[in-house]
Structure formats: C-alpha cells, structure tokens
Amino acid sequence: MIVVTGGAGFIGSAIVWKLNELGEQEIVIVDELGSDEKWKNLTGLKYIDYYNKNEFIELIIEDAVPFEVDAIIHMGACSSTTEKDADYLMQNNYHYSQDLAKFCLTHKSRFIYASSAATYGDGKQGYEDDQTRLNELRPMNMYGYSKHLFDLWLHKMGMIEEVVGLKFFNVYGPNEYHKQDMRSVVHKAYEQICDTGKVKLFKSYKPDYKDGEQVRDFIYVKDAVDMVLFFLQNKNKNGLYNVGTGKARSWKDLVTAVFNSLNKEVNIEFIDMPLDIRDKYQYHTEANCKKIINAGYTKETYSLDAGIEDYVKKYLVAEPFLGY
C-alpha cells in the first residue's frame, strides 16, 4: 500500500492523480479535511481508504497500522509561510515527520517527504541541494525552519541517505484552490483578471530589481509530481533534492503568461509591499537541478508559458480538478 499524507491537498492529490494515471489504486490517503473545500480534490481520485492525520499517527506510534506499508509519500504539513504558532509547526511539521520516518526505516518502507526551498532563506548560501552544508542555511520564517529542522535531524541521525527529501520551489497548478492566500500567483492573477481586468504585484524595494522583476523558480505541479514518482520508482536514489526547473522567471513574466493564455491585454498595477514581509521577502530563487539530473531524472519540464497555458485552459477555464 502507498500512503500519501496530505493526500487531499495540492501536491498530495496531484500525486494520487498521477498514480491513478499509472494504474495504481492501492493508495491510502491521510489528511485533515477541516471545513474548507479541500475534499473536492478527492472526488475524481481512486484510493482504498482515508484516515484523519491524528488517527493515523497514533497507529504509526503504536505500530498498529492495519495494512502493509510499501511507501509513505509525506506531503502533509502546514505550508503557510506566515504561520506564527511555532509550537504548532514544531508538532505538525517536525515531530509528525520524525514519527513517520522512524516507522518507515523500521519497516523498510520507502519514505519520501516534502522539504522546501524556504529552507534556503534569503539565498545567500545559494540553492544547491548539498546535505553536507545544511548547517549553513538560515530560513527566514518559522515554516522554513520547521522543514529545515527535520532535514537537519535526518542528517544528524544518519538517516538522510536512507530516505528522500524534496525541496519544492514555487509550485503552481490545479487542485491548489483551497489554499487561500497560499495559492500561487497564477491562480490569484487569473481571478484578478476575471474580476477587474488587471493584476496587482508588489513593488520592488531593492535597486537591483525593477518592479515586477523579482524572480522565482516556478514549477508546474505535473512536473513536481513526476519528480516525486521518479524516486518512488528508483529506490536506490536517496538524499535531498531540489524540485524546480532551474530557470528563474519574473513575476511580470508569470502574469503576462496568464494574460496571454486568456487572450487579454497585459495590465499590471504595482502596489506597496506590506511592511511585515519586506525584510523576509525573497527577490531571487532558482533551483540548482544538477543533483536530480545526475540521479537519472531527464524529463524536460514545462516552460513557464506552456505550464500556465495548460493550467489556465484545461483547468481554470474548463474542469478545475485533476481526475475529472
């Protein structure tokens, strides 16, 4: 059985969708559905069973999981970069992950988990997925620190070469709709264009970057999922890996691609950046992808324009959910 934690969430549900596409249905989803509409991500998917995350971790701790676990793909976490409750993040993102990792290593089950590019902080140390340099990284928010702490723990315990940690960069695509303010700017831009005909972007506060020219490594969720499943299929590949395109593009490029996908004229308004995030704002991220390529992953990723066109035309304008 393949367990996908966060399986009703954005990347998790996309992983289940892709597994279904490959003919796999022996899947257990672990999540916490709450009162939002995340459950809609599940409606087109095929899986055996669903467990609430609290119920499942009790089974893990008690070593009482009632089925054989071939792999745990651990995507479940609080992914809000503005979350202030540090104790919650420690329990939900760090300790929960520890329990899953120990279970998998004890039972010789595959363990693949979501780390984050937020662990790189302001990028001064670069974006190379070198696990021997983990102590040099300084995350800029508590979310990034909670992810970094788990990477560090695995390394200190000598486990990092027995599992796979994936540092996701800026992922966008279908099934992200429930994420509210943590949705991609692609989805936010689409809504703004439909509602007002224009998109608002933050001004730059660094002279080296013009307004809208701040850059990120944007990766389409279909590419991110393919990279995850590469490690499910190649069990001899372990360690920390970046999940990105290796090609940074600007917010202006991204928004322009959304306008073009809708055949509308580009109309961007630059607004003030809130004071509380100015000193934590990343102006440049770009994944170093040499390690995953050297591991054998050679599939070409969607260009930013092609990924946004696929997302907008096949999902946002048409049927929004994967698996429908």
Q: What residue type is assigned to position 183 of the chain?
A: R
Contact 125, 142 (CB under 8 A): no
Annotated active-site residue 47? The verdict is: no
Are 231 and 291 contacting, i.e. CB atoms less than 8 angstroms apart? no
Which structure tokens are listed for 237? 């590949």
Q: Tell me if residue 241 is catalytic.
A: no
| DSSP structural state of residue 118 | G
Rounded CA-CA distance 77/315 in Å is 25
Helix (H) or strand (E) holding 147: helix 142-156
Q: Are 289 and 168 in contact (CB under 8 A)?
A: no
Torsion of CA 310, 188, 321, 172, to 10 degrees: 60
- Sign of dihedral through CA atoms 199, 200, 201, 204? positive
Candidate list 127, 143, 190, 220, residue with the active-site label: 143
Q: Nearest to residue 124, comparing CAs of 139, 144, 141?
A: 139
The residues annotated as belonging to the active site are 143, 179
